[in-house]
Amino acid sequence: MDDLWPVAVGVFQAWMFVVVFFIMLPAMCGLSLGVTSVYIQILVKILEWATLRIQRGRQEQPSVPVPLPNGIIERAGGSMEEEMAPAGAEFSLSDALFFYKEGVESIVDDQVTQRFSSEELASWNLLTRTNHNFRYISLRLTVIWGLGVCVRYGVLFPLRITLTVIGLSWLVIGTTLVGFLPESSVKTWLSELVHVTCYRICARGLSATVHYHNRDNRPQKGGICVSNHTTPIDVVILANDGCYAMVGQVHGGLMGVLQRSMVRSCPHVWFERSEMRDRHAVTNRLRAHVAAKNKLPILIFPEGTCINNTSVMMFKKGSFEIGGTIHPVAIKYDPRFGDAFWNSSKYNMVSYLLRMMTSWAIVVNVWYLPPMTIQEGEDAAQFANRVKSAVAHRGGLLDLDWDGGLKRGKVKDSLKEEQQKKYSSIITGQSDHDSSSLTT
């Protein structure tokens, strides 16, 4: 037993030397030794080989099930007016069949629910979230999968845990020390330095490869950065390239420790639970922050919940009532290397982080869009929809009008009334504006 102790100490010292001098310090300086890029290239080759082997295995073994497509039903795609077309603009009992069909389609495969489940891949990426039968196609594929499990849990996971602990510890210690300094330009510079280096360490801990596009459009101080939301890691991905003032509710536990240390050195905007219910108070505090042009841009995710990396859902208008310049950002993750989406109704934060830290890598594209301001005659809701459409278009995501709050709530009465108004306008031959009086 005494002989094993020096060996364990030597292994630990060698491990920390590699972590600190070959990963952490280059990350803090914004440098890369190229190891991650080589690792990603090797992954791509292995996954391409696995895909070809799976395709050949399906031909040799027809009994292996084929993955289902994303949409399990084929929708007609016609509007209410096109499908009904009532003769003589009169009510017909058969009109009920349209609503019956729409209701059944929504129950089987509605547009909202499928945005809160993991994006399924056409082939296996050697992770267990896709079709498990893929691993039994050949012995070599099974061996590669087994080796992948050993690498992900035996090498990558301990390495990522080490880097994450170092990064978060540095955030708490660094921001606390900076917080004791008097307000000055030096304190601001040191605070931004501590935040950026911490997030760079955490990003390297996730084997994150981030491709930033149009960096000339990066959010500026006194502005508001809005982005689509896939995962809590979005914060790390964006803050890895610049500092932001975070907005959120005050938490307890480890999250509370981080929040209290961060706010000592940087003017983040944390709300008590009672304040979050007061929309007027929230707007006033955010407006006061934006009015100070020397403060960091606010980072807000207007969807209010995580969407599964395929779509952008309704941007809540509150973020667009504050005023100031909006800096849109589009984020798109590469699903081949890991599922970045956080399904909070299925996994708690610990389980989700475990899945993230045992995935192959995080590969993501970030596009900075040109700054946008509200136009004359445009209200906050219209402005929010215009920004959402720009983000969806640039990120190659589906632009949806649905509220992400439907993930846990019931359909609003206003949405039901909208369908009633459309049907009323058809059978009466009136415009939507005129028919609105029929449903009041």
Query: Under a CB-based contact definition with an 8 Å cutoff, are residues 371 and 325 in contact?
Result: yes
User: H/E/C letters for each residue in 102-157?
Assistant: HHHHHHHHCCCHHHHCCCCCCCCCCCCCCCHHHHHCCHHHHHHHHHHHHHHHHHHH
Structure tokens at 277: 């219910």
DSSP string, 164-187: HHHHHHHHHHHHHHHHTSPSSHHH
Q: Rounded to whole angstroms, how far apart are CA atoms 165 and 20?
A: 12
Q: 115-124, 248-257, 305-314, 428-437 — which is least confidently predicted? A: 428-437
Q: Rounded to whole angstroms, how far apart are CA atoms 300 and 229?
A: 9
Query: Under a CB-based contact definition with an 8 Å cutoff, are residues 358 and 153 in contact?
Result: yes
Q: For residue 23, what is the DSSP state?
A: I
Which is nearest to 19 in space by CA: 8, 27, 31?
Answer: 27
170-225 residue pLDDT tens: 888 988 888 888 888 888 888 888 888 988 998 888 888 899 999 999 998 888 99
Which is nearest to 312 in space by CA: 395, 433, 413?
Answer: 395
Q: Which residue has the higher pLDDT, 126 or 367?
A: 367
Q: Rounded to whole angstroms, how far apart are CA atoms 334 and 354?
A: 19
> Whose structure tokens read 């609105």?
436
Where in the chain are the domains? 139-407
Considering the chain, what is the average pLDDT of its residues?
78
146-183 residue pLDDT tens: 888 899 999 899 999 998 888 888 888 988 888 888 88
**pLDDT value of residue 77:** 55
Beta strands in 228-306 (DSSP E): 245-249, 269-271, 298-300
- Other CB atoms within a 10 A radius of the CB of residue 415 amount to 12
Query: pLDDT tier at 92 (50, 70, 90 boundaries)?
Result: low
Q: Rounded to whole angstroms, how far apart are CA atoms 367 and 218?
A: 9
DSSP string, 69-82: PS-SS------HHH
User: H/E/C letters for each residue in 202-236?
Assistant: HHHHCCEEEEEECHHHCCCCCCEEEECCCCCCHHH
pTM: 0.78
Query: pLDDT tier at 276 (50, 70, 90 boundaries)?
Result: low
38-64 residue pLDDT tens: 888 888 888 888 778 777 766 666 665
